[in-house]
Amino acid sequence: MAFTPTPELQSLIEKLLSLEEQYPYSSLLIPVPSTEDADKLFTELCERALFNNSTYDSTFIKEAIKDKKGLAGCFLGYMSKAADRLRETRDIRWLHIGLGASILEDGYPDWRDYILAMADLYVTAEEAGLDPKPAFKLIGYDDEYDFAHHPVVCERRRYRIS
C-alpha cells in the first residue's frame, strides 16, 4: 500500500506548486513569500512539517519541491521572515514556524545560508527571552549537538543582524 498525502495536504501542495513561476531560483536572491495568501500557505506548511511527522507531511512537501529550487529558497526566506516576526512579537510560535521552514528548505543549494538562518532563529529566540533548546530538539539539535555554541551562533550574538 503506497502512502499518499491527505486530501487537505494535497490541496496545500498544489497551491504551493502553483507559486513556482512567481519564485524562480536565483543564486543572487533568497525569495520570501510576499502575498498574504502565500504567507498563510507557508505558515501552514511549516507548522505541518514540524508537528505532523506521524503523517509524513514534511516528506510529501519536500518530495513535491525537490527539483524546484525557487520554492525551496522560499522556505529559507521564510526562516528569516519567521525570525523577524519572532523579534517583533516574542511569540514562540514563530520559532516553531521558522524551524518547520528549516525542515522544508532541505536541499537549498548553499548550506551556509541555512546555518546563518538557523543562528538567526536561535539568537532571536534568546533575545526574545525564550529558551530555544527545546524547540531545536524537535528537529534533532539535541544536547550532543550543542548548537548554542556553534561558531555562527556565537558570532551572531556578537553582531546583531538587522
Q: Cβ of 156: how many Cβ atoms within 10 Å?
A: 21
Average pLDDT over the chain, rounded to an integer: 92
Where are the chain's structural domains? 7-18+30-158
Q: In angstroms, rounded to a whole number, what is the distance separating the alpha carbons of residues 125 and 39?
A: 21
Q: Three cell numbers at 71?
A: 520554492
**pLDDT score recorded for residue 107:** 65
- When pLDDT is averaged across residues 4-20 and rounded to a whole number, the result is 96
The pLDDT tens digits of the residues spanning 113-159 come to 999 999 999 999 999 999 999 999 999 988 788 899 999 999 999 87
**pLDDT score recorded for residue 1:** 43
**pLDDT score recorded for residue 145:** 81
Full-prediction pTM beyond 0.85? yes
2: pLDDT strictly greater than 90: no
**pLDDT score recorded for residue 108:** 73
- When pLDDT is averaged across residues 84-101 and rounded to a whole number, the result is 98
Name the residue among 20, 126, 133 with its Cα closest to residue 71: 20
